[in-house]
């Protein structure tokens, strides 16, 4: 029998009476060691590769724990072979988890997702693959050739430069309302979505929302505000090693 790890938190608190069932309908339980606890449930082999229902059930459990306490949320898929592995995790990484919980105390995660416009003719040509320009015998000098090459490659980087300027603009507009930030750049082969994540004091959530609603980037860009969420993007999932 293997187990799925949901989150880590302080104290010996048990699941709330109204906590939803875990993945696959399995009940959630708590193991405690040295002042830290871990939320777990049994993991069926059929749930190893998650679908939408498993992900939603998993997040609902973490949200329930997070409602009343600070947690280290774990990404789906942290599988433990035995409950003793969870106890060893809490023992071996006690100082690391305690420090992270102190850092996350009173914090929540907010997100701003930006749907970038790449439909214009200029950006379409910039996005395509371009071969390096050959040496141009018509250039009057080596300096002129290098200047032409520099201008050419600057044009290729225009979309990336625009993204960087947009990210800096959004970060600057929200300065003072968050303590940490992260950005997830789009892969235009699959997505046009640029995602920014902010670690925000819970007491500042409404102020953050008001400021985010007043952001006014150029008209071709759409913004979606999300949160508050457990701080998934500001923790690293604990590693389950055989030498724990």
* Same domain as 120, residue 93: no
> Do 84 and 123 fall into the same domain?
no
Q: Examine residue 138 and state whether it is found in any structural domain, yes or no.
A: no
Pairing of strands 36-43, 79-80: unpaired
Return contacts of 98-101, CB within 8 angstroms, 24+ apart: 98/10, 98/35, 98/36, 100/72, 100/235, 101/8, 101/9, 101/10, 101/70, 101/72
Residue 135, domain member (yes or no): no
In this structure, the answer to whether residues 73 and 116 fall within a common structural domain is no
- 132 within domain boundaries: no
Classify the C-alpha dihedral 198-200-206-207 as positive or negative: negative
Residue 118 sits in the same domain as residue 183: yes
83 is a domain residue: yes
Residues 11 and 82 in one domain: yes
Q: Is residue 134 part of a domain?
A: no
Q: Are residues 38 and 66 in the same domain?
A: yes
Instruction: Annotate 79-92 with b (16+ C-beta within 10 A) or e (fewer).
Output: ebeeeebbbbbbee
44-101 pLDDT per residue, tens: 887 778 899 999 999 999 999 999 899 999 988 889 999 999 999 999 999 999 999 9
Residue 192's CATH number: 3.30.70.600
Q: Are residues 221 and 114 in the same domain?
A: yes
pLDDT at 12: 80
Indicate the number of domains in the chain. Answer: 2
Q: Kindly report, residue by residue over 192-215, the tens digit of the pLDDT.
A: 788 999 999 999 999 999 999 888
Write out pLDDT tens, residues 53-66. Answer: 999 999 999 999 99
- Residue 149 falls within a domain, yes or no? no
In terms of domains, do 101 and 176 share one?
no
Higher pLDDT, 137 or 167: 167
| Domain termination residue (choose one: 43, 73, 105) | 105
Q: Are 100 and 173 part of one and the same domain?
A: no
Q: Residue 99's domain spans which residues?
A: 2-105
Are 118 and 97 in the same domain?
no
């Amino acid at each position: 029998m293997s187990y799925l790890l949901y989150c880590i938190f302080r104290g010996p608190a048990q699941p709330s009476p109204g906590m939803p069932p875990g993945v696959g309908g399995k009940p959630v339980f708590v193991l405690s060691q040295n002042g830290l606890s871990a939320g777990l449930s049994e993991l069926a082999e059929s749930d190893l590769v998650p679908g939408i229902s498993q992900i939603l059930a998993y997040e609902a459990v973490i949200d329930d724990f997070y409602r009343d306490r600070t947690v280290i949320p774990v990404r789906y898929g942290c599988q433990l072979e035995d409950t003793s592995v969870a106890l060893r995790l809490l023992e071996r990484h006690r100082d690391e988890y305690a420090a992270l919980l102190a850092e996350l105390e009173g914090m929540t995660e907010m997100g701003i997702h930006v749907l970038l416009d790449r439909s214009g003719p200029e950006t379409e040509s910039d996005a395509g693959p371009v071969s390096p320009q050959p040496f141009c015998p018509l250039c009057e000098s080596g300096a002129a050739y290098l200047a032409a090459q520099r201008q050419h490659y600057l044009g290729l980087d225009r979309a990336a430069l625009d993204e960087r300027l947009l990210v800096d603009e959004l970060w600057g507009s929200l300065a003072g309302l968050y303590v940490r930030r992260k950005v997830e750049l789009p892969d235009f082969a699959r997505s046009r979505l640029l995602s920014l994540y902010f670690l925000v004091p819970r007491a500042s959530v409404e102020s953050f929302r008001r400021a985010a609603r007043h952001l006014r980037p150029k008209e071709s860009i759409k913004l979606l505000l999300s949160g508050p969420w457990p701080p998934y993007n500001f923790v690293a999932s604990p590693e389950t090693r055989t030498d724990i």
